[in-house]
Structure 1
């Protein structure tokens, strides 16, 4: 099956690459097991060699069988490794592997949220719900997916580091890994701010807690109709 994927001109999908990694690990374990068994059988055959006893023929048969199984497992491990290498090359060649606009979006929202927190502006329930939905997007589609991608890129770069002729691959993988880390850093900063954002809302809506003092925006201080409480979020702008 692995050789069929290798013959396919299309680059392997992430699912196929993950499958290949698990198969390679199992195949390497099997190859080691059969190699150990082969050594034991060969030592037994050395004892019986030339005796003409029936056990000698039995040992020769088992030696040949163990050697064939070891070779088959090693071939499977090699094929699945090449499949994973093809996947790494396909990742390295992509320009859109890590979209920088995602990190920019998260950073923009995070900075706007930090501004609201500094001003002590309490979010409305609707604003908090909107921020929570975005937090779910960041947690699932960014943190989980990008963390797995970064680990794969880092492992791939480490595996080929120092290999003659693979400098371009290592450089491309390192570049993508750095972009993934930038996206994760933006996500971590947003998640930290989100905890404070949620805590501010909880404190403001807890009757037993001390009242949250809100600093009015400069334009409300000059409003002849008197100061008005303003609630803003990073997503929806100002609301009276």
Structure 2
């Protein structure tokens, strides 16, 4: 699946440059309208991130997320600040199709293991964000010493299936995805479902990822720079089905 991304900050849709909260670009004051536009174009999946929640570790844009769920009847995944079972259950009970666990996968692996056991790998996705092959945590504000491949292996042993891999250095740069990183991870962990995120520019990037065996992709800035359109995504999805 190809997921358009909506990043939420203070109730609005924004983009950050390389995860920098001081480099914010407003995309849409009304993310609910944006979500409606996406599904009305024929794209039936959406990637949501609570940027404020990623920093604080608690829901900060719940009202907007709830409104998007009511108005978007496609497949909806959500990440940002989901660090305890109460928050995870709240979002899953809201009808979010799958939630993304990021920092907690390193900081509280027992919690993630418990979630995977309760809800399964189809509803719990692991966000593996970082640079130079190592994982970043807490809204990308801190760099850990944990290798991306090691985190993926550990989470697979606990029942995880899908991993959103984001090279922080590529995010919002329009430089193309880190194909070397993704290829290494794919070769080392062929049973992991890798979701490419960060740097995707155009349809050529989608074809390059597909050639690696990666068909799940998250697209953010390219949509707002219009180097990929929602119609393009709908057409690629239609041809893939």
| TM tier, smaller | under 0.3
More helix per residue: 1 or 2? 1
Bigger Cα Rg: 1
Structure in which a larger fraction of residues adopt strand: 2
Greater relative CO (CA pairs within 8 A, separation 6+): 1
